[in-house]
Structure 1
């Protein structure tokens, strides 16, 4: 850094420091948030970054149907839904949620079902939106398009292929039936 400053640094024209100190009511976290406007649906939902936000159903939030609210994405990863500066309570439904197979181990049929679901999920494109800035990590670069499909474009053929894969695995383990 010192070598860079030595090569490119310039002395200021004036010695007067025009920076003002932060006031007590200045909120730096609010300044550094990424804000996206989203419209509230009739069912009190907002979609942002492939996550469906379910706004708590009460009289005040019913008035917000059809209005635009702001989704505040903080650099540390937190998100808030705000309307006119007021934080709206919400819960989330993640469309790219993964099933944890390790949570349930006992039932043999359930294990096969979870394996089938995992095979279908492996064909799904799990990349989040690249339109917002990266948080604390490295900057996000556009990736090449993958051969994976979006959640909605997964169809019966993908499920049949997953079933065939499972069938071939069981044939390898137990041998073919006669």
Structure 2
């Protein structure tokens, strides 16, 4: 640039605007160029430490404190603690560079985990990945819902899909029933660590060590495996990402706006999708097994089963409701024992003792409400909120009692006997002594 200006092809003001410097700085650079050549244009501190550089002793002192006290802290939090507790002010970015150079911190690229690819299974039906995807499948035409996806690991085929309000045990029971009807029993299902598939607390003292869905699969002789990470079941995760793009647009083109109509249309979409994306398995043998259970037995498997104690007055407590058994010899024989409860998706509850259904009537017909202390899973939050709003519309609000609590004293209206007299105490002592002598 200076050479062009020397040749007279550019004015000093033009050179200054191009270099984004002042015209006087252009003159200084020109003077250095004439005196010492092109090398003089370089900055004078090039190759030398900056005048604003922090002393090496300060750096070593800061890293020593971080290494001793804040080894597991991030640079931002460590910088705050250095200034707050040690009076050492260092910017978080400077401390980040120091910690990276000293091996105390890894940047995001260094912390990245690489998951080795897993080969597909060789047989169809050997491993089926299952997952639920919460999304606005109908865009603004209908509320968001969940799509349950069953995909074969060997072929990448979509084996079963169903739109449901949210991920729940009964939702998976419904999808599993359709899967068994269309394909039979696979060797194993591969899922995440959702509480539907896996008991989170292995140290729990009650229960049978498996969930209701796991119990149903055990009765059907199907294994359930839980992935340790979302990358491990990447087949179904990538399918969800593809479906959130393609399926949403297909539903829009088909003019479908509700779950019932979409579930009836899904077999057509599955057939088209598999024809485009599915692949041939490595081995031709299909490992799906036929379902030999009759319809009544399959209905008893795909339900919520538990046990409840029968009290002396032929009552059973179930889901905050009191069920009263009809008086009979069979019901009387169940007193003091646990009867089996079968809860079905339509809300019907069946009580069975020794394999026989016990007729009953409900004492409290009020339905269970969502209380202020109810615990709702994140994936079921939309469904729980919708249910709560329906209950709010159906019944007026109840005004809770304020002020006196249950733990406070309730007056009985009886007079206090007052302190015992000396004669009463002497009489009690004599009775106690006589009882002791009688025992001896």
Give the number of the structure whose residues are more often strand, by fraction: 1
Where relative contact order (Cα < 8 A, 6+ residues apart) is larger, the structure is 1
TM normalised by structure 2 equals 0.22
TM normalised by structure 1 equals 0.50
